[in-house]
Amino acid sequence: MSSNLLNATIGELQKLLESGKVSSVELNQQFVDHIEKHNSEVNAFIFVDKDFILEQAKASDERRSSSSLLSSLDGIPIAIKNNIAIEDQRLTCGSHILENFVSPYDATVTTRLKQQGMVLYSGLNMDEFAMGSTTESSYFGATSNPWNTERSPGGSSGGSSASVAARFVPVSLGSDTGGSIRQPGAFCGVYGLKPTYGQVSRYGLVAFASSLDQIGPLSHSVEDCAKVLDIIAGHDERDSSSYPTLDINYLQEIQNLEDYRPRIGIPKEYFAHDIDPEAAKAIDAVIDFYKTKGCEVKDITLPNTDLALSTYYIIATAEASSNLARFDGIRYTHRSGEAKNIMDTYFMSRGEGFGEEVTRRVILGTFALSSGYHDAYYSKAQKVRTLIRRDFETAFEDIDLVLTPTAPTPAFKKGENADDPLMVYLNDIFTIPVNLAGLPGLSVPCGFTQTGLPLSYQLIAPYFKEEHLLKTAKLFEDAHDYHNQHPQF
Partner 1 sequence: MSEEPTLDIDYVAQLARISLTEEEKARYAKQLSKVLGYFQELAAVDTEGVEPTAHANPIFDVMREDVAVDGLPQERALMNAPKQLDGEVVVPKVIE
Partner 2 sequence: MNKFEPVIGLEVHVQLSTESKMFTNAPYYFGAEPNTLTNAVVMGMPGTLPVLNKRAIEKTIQVGLLLDCEIPRQSKWDRKHYFYPDMPKNYQISQYDQPLCVGGEVEIELEGESRNVMGPHRYVKLTRIHLEEDVGKLTHLGDISVVDYNRAGAPLIEIVTEPDIYSPEEAYAFLTSLRSTLQAAGISDCDMEKGQLRCDANISVKPVGSAKLGTKVELKNLNSITGVRNGIAYEIDRQTRDILAGGTITQETRRWDADAEMTYVMRTKEEAHDYRYMPDPDLMPVIITDEWKAELAKGLAEKPFDRQRRYMDTLDLPYTITSVLCQEPELCTFFEETLTIHKNAKAIANFLVNDIQREIAEASHDEDQKVLADFAITPGILAELVALVDKGTISNQIAKEILPEIIKNGKSPATLVKEKGLEQSSDSGELELICQDAIDNNPKPVAEFKAGKEPAINALKGQVMKATRGKANPKMVDDILRKLLS
Active-site amino acid positions: 81, 156, 180
| Interface with partner 1, residue 104, by CB under 8 A | yes
Q: How far is the CB of 323 from partner 2 (least distance, A)?
A: 9
Tell me which of 328, 391, 400, 428 binds partner 1, using CB under 8 A: 328
The C-alpha atoms of residue 401 and residue 444 are separated, in whole angstroms, by 14
The C-alpha atoms of residue 200 and residue 194 are separated, in whole angstroms, by 10
**Cβ-based nearer residue to partner 2, 223 or 236:** 236
116 CB-side CA count, 13 A:
21
Stretch that binds partner 1, among 15-23, 69-77, 147-155, 378-386 (CB under 8 A): 378-386
| Phi then psi dihedrals of residue 82, to 5 deg | -80, 30
The C-alpha atoms of residue 75 and residue 57 are separated, in whole angstroms, by 6
| Interface with partner 1, residue 272, by CB under 8 A | no
| Interface with partner 1, residue 321, by CB under 8 A | yes
**Cβ-based nearer residue to partner 1, 163 or 333:** 333
Helix (H, G, I), strand (E, B) or coil at 365: helix
| Interface with partner 1, residue 332, by CB under 8 A | yes
Site size for partner 1 (CB under 8 A): 74
Which of partner 2, partner 1, none does 360 bind, CB closer than 5 to 8 A by kind?
A: partner 1
The C-alpha atoms of residue 275 and residue 51 are separated, in whole angstroms, by 45
Q: How far is the CB of 221 from partner 1 (least distance, A)?
A: 28
Helix (H, G, I), strand (E, B) or coil at 171: strand
**Cβ-based nearer residue to partner 1, 189 or 195:** 195
Name which of 222, 181, 206, 126 is nearest 428 in CA terms. Answer: 181
Q: How far is the CB of 438 from partner 2 (least distance, A)?
A: 11
**Cβ-based nearer residue to partner 1, 182 or 335:** 335
DSSP count for the chain of H helices, then E strands: 18, 10
Which of partner 1, partner 2, none does 8 bind, CB closer than 5 to 8 A by kind?
A: none
**Cβ-based nearer residue to partner 1, 191 or 313:** 313
Whether the CB-CB separation of 183 and 154 falls below 8 Å is answered with: yes
**Cβ-based nearer residue to partner 2, 29 or 241:** 241
| Interface with partner 1, residue 366, by CB under 8 A | yes
Residue 273 is classified by DSSP as S
The C-alpha atoms of residue 312 and residue 304 are separated, in whole angstroms, by 12
Q: How far is the CB of 243 from partner 1 (least distance, A)?
A: 7
**Cβ-based nearer residue to partner 2, 28 or 177:** 177
List, in sequence order, every residue forming a beta bridge with 267; answer none if it has no partner: 300
Whether the CB-CB separation of 139 and 94 falls below 8 Å is answered with: yes
Verify cis geometry, omega within 30 degrees of 0, for the bond prior to 156. Answer: yes
Helix (H, G, I), strand (E, B) or coil at 314: helix
| Interface with partner 1, residue 379, by CB under 8 A | yes
The C-alpha atoms of residue 147 and residue 455 are separated, in whole angstroms, by 12
Which of partner 1, partner 2, none does 318 bind, CB closer than 5 to 8 A by kind?
A: partner 2
Residues forming contacts to partner 2 in the complex (CB under 8 A) are 83-85, 91, 93, 98, 101, 103-105, 107, 202-207, 209-211, 237-241, 318-319, 321-322, 325-328, 330-332, 342, 346, 366, 369-371, 374, 378
List, in sequence order, every residue forming a beta bridge with 277; answer none if it has no partner: none
List, in sequence order, every residue forming a beta bridge with 265; answer none if it has no partner: 298, 402
Tell me which of 121, 139, 187, 243 binds partner 1, using CB under 8 A: 243
| Interface with partner 1, residue 47, by CB under 8 A | no
**Cβ-based nearer residue to partner 1, 65 or 386:** 386
| Interface with partner 1, residue 463, by CB under 8 A | yes
| Interface with partner 1, residue 245, by CB under 8 A | no
> 147-186 mask for partner 1 (x: CB under 8 A)?
----------------------------------------
Taking residue 452's Cβ as centre, other Cβ atoms within 10 Å add up to 12
Residue 489 is classified by DSSP as -
> 197-236 mask for partner 1 (x: CB under 8 A)?
xx------------xx------------------------
Tell me which of 36, 62, 284, 306 binds partner 1, using CB under 8 A: 306
The C-alpha atoms of residue 131 and residue 129 are separated, in whole angstroms, by 5
Whether the CB-CB separation of 101 and 39 falls below 8 Å is answered with: no
Chain centroid to Cα 290, Å, comes to 26
